[in-house]
Amino acid sequence: QHYFIQSNLRMGALLTFLLFLLNCSVSAAADKLKLSILMFRHGDRSPTTNIPNDIYTTDSWPQGPGQLSIIGKESHLENGKFFRARYTDPSSETYLGLNPDYKRVEVDVRSTDMERTLMSAESFLAGFFPPPDNNLTSPLDVWQPIPVHTLPYPNEKMLDGAPVPCKAFTESYHETLMNNADFLSFMRNNTENTKKIYEVCGWKEHSDLLSQLSTAETTYDTLFCEKSHNYTLKKEFSEANLFNLVVPYNALRWSLFNLMTDSEKAFMGGVLLRELKTRVRAAIEQTDEHKLVIFSGHDTTLASILTTLGVYDGVQTPYATVLAVEVWETEEGGHVIRLIRHHKDEDLISYTLPGCQESGCTEEQFYSLNANLEMSEDDILDKCNETSWPDFAPSLDKNVLFVLLCVTILFTLCSLIVTTIYLCSLKKNTKYSSLGAVEHRSLLADDDFLA
């Protein structure tokens, strides 16, 4: 019996050891994460536009219109911590092989040229890359600077969503909506509500239906921000039930993405779609050392890329929503590309892209996905009949440029008038000076004679 017990113990130990080896073998052969491309909407902000008849103005908000709030900063700080835990823990299945202390060649960050998106990127990076433990005596012991790249407006053609300005896109989109029965039906059935919105808010009225929708959606955004920050709505706005009145308009605005033609979808997200495929290919072919790529943008950025990928649900993405395109190397040596979505108030969402499996897309499937919607920045310039914009152009709006032009023309005219007067005066003075010289010489001659 003693021998039987010892034999069982040896057999149990052997089985445990074999299971350990098997587990190590499976772990070693499991899929490995090679690249993550994060795209997110900025965090909570103040309204971008004031309603004319509102009791709140630009001065009612700590940093002015369209600025990231403390809540917005904290949201992306937490997002950074979430993805740090996901990507930098060697024991995690989602380990990215990323240096947790930040290594320049591994990380690339780009943002639109807006304060709220730049600050969202910085907040995210503060959560993802806290200072190394050996730096606790430095003044930067709670934060370390990470570079964020950007392009000035309107040079940004990839992350803004719609290419602005672009007459070709605007005219095409307007024509699409004016021929869409659902859009026309909604706007015509809500004529009285639209009129009420203009009257209560004090907006300048528009006859164009798309402009009316834009005005109602702007009203929604401003009231949403006020309610989110616990500002009491103006009495007249509450009595008119204004917020509930504009909610359907906002819902309509985002549903319109799925009504766009392929050409319009390409304008909106084609450049970013092309960039995603370029980054994925570079990671698979090992021609780029970046392991983490971050794009900080807007709700239109996420709606546009989800539309071009064919999975947009037509609903506005909440603040601080993060999309992640992850490239995995399989144990067989192939690659799988997956799209996931993270938000603090939602469970992690995995998308099944068109023509792909639930587990993800193969390289070929991903590269061919909606290839007809891809666009380069040069394509945008060509189709919008633009040339490259000078660096100073983004800082000058049309009104400023008009004033400068008028001042330049006025200055030129004044210069011409002054110059003309001066030349005429000079010619006249020259005539009198010549007569004086003759008279003077005559007198001298006489004096010489007398002498």
> Which residues are annotated as catalytic?
42, 299
Residue 376 and residue 306: Cα distance in Å, rounded? 18
CB 380 within 8 A of CB 154: no
Tracing tokens 């499976």 back to the chain, one arrives at 26
Among 177, 381, 173, 351, smallest CA distance to 271 is for: 381
CB 115 within 8 A of CB 69: no
Residue 297 and residue 5: Cα distance in Å, rounded? 66
CB 230 within 8 A of CB 269: no
Residue 276 and residue 281: Cα distance in Å, rounded? 9
76 burial type by CB count under 10 A (0-12 exposed, 13-18 middle, 19+ buried) = buried
Residue 344 and residue 75: Cα distance in Å, rounded? 8
CB 290 within 8 A of CB 108: yes
Cα-flanking dihedrals φ and ψ of residue 39, to 5°?
-130, 125
